[in-house]
Structure 1
Amino acid sequence: MKIWALAAALAFAWLASPASAAGDPATGKEKSAVCSACHGADGKAIMPAYPNLAGQHASYISKQLTAYRDGDRVNALMSGQATNLTDEDIEDLAAYYASMTKHEGVASEEDDLALGRDIYRGGITAAGVAACSACHGPAGEGNPGASWPVVSGQNAEYAADQLKYFRSGERANDPNSMMRGIAKRMTDAEITAVTNYITGLHAAP
């Protein structure tokens, strides 16, 4: 099945599935003190290797925290932090960060910006890589029903690391290997270009 068709089929399946219980943002704020040490009190990461969480879809945050807790996604720092989280904790934290205003990023003035735009909007036809916008949307706002993340304004370093983890198989919590199938067809230069582009996607030409 082509990547485009698979993406559409998965989106329909997830959109038709029951939604997870909504968390309480106020309670999530009370539980976020430890999180803010890395992700910032305002949901903006303190280091470019960490993800910004402000304005991210609650469904995506919930999915990733559950994956860290249950061992489906492994990271030395996050796996330890998530170990003792209950389902309620996860939903509350997800609701809190989703309620924040998303931070805008700025793409670096590099020669690869045009390449990144082309990949994001049109994919890499020769390598069989679908356009990122097919799942993450023209403005990088993702799809909450499918638990596909907001990518616009995300830290380029963090996003590039994740694509490389998908490519190597170190990260493998993507349904039906969608992201692994895409990333393994991308070079380092292409990954750098597209993640640079999405950082400033809100303002990119």
Structure 2
Amino acid sequence: MKIWALAATLAFAWLANPAAAAGDPAAGQAKAAVCAACHGADGKAIQPSYPNLAGQHAAYIAKQLTDYRDGNRVNALMSGQAANLTDEDIQDLAAYYAAMPKHENIAAEENLTLGEDIYRGGITSAGIAACGACHGPAGEGNPYAAWPVISGQDAQYTSDQLKYFRSEERANDPNAMMRGVAKRMTDAEIDAVSNYIAGLHATAE
């Protein structure tokens, strides 16, 4: 399926389910105490292998928590944490983190040019489209399609997720979109674009 067609399909599905963003941030705050141990009280992860959640789209957070709960995404820690969450809990947590101000990050200089080339222009030789085609020029994603905010995310987390998609250890991407991309990327390309994404806020102006 073409990227634009999938985006339209996902957007329609989101609009048909307005509860996807109907959580209560205040209720989510009370439920998020245990989450802070890994994701920080301010939504900034305590180590680079964990995701920053502050400012992430509610629809995306809700999808990931639901996938962890239902076994569509597996992680030894998160699967256990999500196992007993109700749909209401998930929506409240998603609303809480979505309402937080997003954190910025800094990219290293080492492979920044390669990372920018991949993000903005794709990898023509491998038939890979620009990352910005779905995630936007500033990495802000698409809340209606539940595509995540990725700018400012720690490079290690982004790199890990791309490699999990490549190995199919992670397989909860609609229509295998991310798996199809990651399978055609080398470690060096993944690490470079992950580094660029970490500091994208500073380069998208």
TM-score for the superposition, normalised by structure 1? 0.96
Q: How does 1:77-116 map to 2 (within 5 A)?
A: 77-110=77-110, 112-116=111-115
Q: Which amino acid aligns with 2:7?
A: A
The reply on whether 1:19 has 2:29 as its aligned counterpart is no
Cα deviation, residue 144, structure 1: 0.3
CA distance in 2, matches of 1:125, 1:99: 37
Equivalence for 1:141: 140
Q: How does 1:1-205 map to 2 (within 5 A)?
A: 6-17=2-13, 18-21=16-19, 22-110=22-110, 112-204=111-203
Post-superposition CA distance 1:28-55 (Å, at most 9, x none):
0000000000000000000000000000
CA distance in 1, matches of 2:12, 2:162: 28
CA contact (8 A) 1:61 1:94 kept: yes
Identity of aligned residues (%): 75
CA distance in 1, matches of 2:191, 2:184: 14
Instruction: Name the SS for the 1:202 alignment partner.
Output: helix
Cα deviation, residue 139, structure 1: 0.3
Q: Which amino acid aligns with 1:28?
A: G
CA contact (8 A) 1:58 1:91 kept: yes
Q: How large is the RMSD of aligned CA atoms in angstroms? A: 0.9
CA distance in 2, matches of 1:7, 1:60: 18
Can you give the 5+ residue segments of structure 1 that lack an aligned partner in the other structure?
Answer: none
Cα deviation, residue 204, structure 1: 2.3
Cα deviation, residue 10, structure 1: 1.0
CA contact (8 A) 1:20 1:59 kept: no
Equivalent residues, number: 200
Runs of 4+ aligned structure 1 residues displaced above 4 Å come to: none
Post-superposition CA distance 1:112-160 (Å, at most 9, x none):
1000000000100000111000000000000000000000000110000
TM-score for the superposition, normalised by structure 2? 0.96
Instruction: Name the SS for the 1:203 alignment partner.
Output: helix
Cα deviation, residue 193, structure 1: 0.2
Post-superposition CA distance 1:76-110 (Å, at most 9, x none):
00000000000000000000000000000100121
CA contact (8 A) 1:115 1:194 kept: yes
Post-superposition CA distance 1:153-185 (Å, at most 9, x none):
001100000000000010000011100000000
Q: Which amino acid aligns with 1:134?
A: A
Instruction: Name the SS for the 1:145 alignment partner.
Output: coil
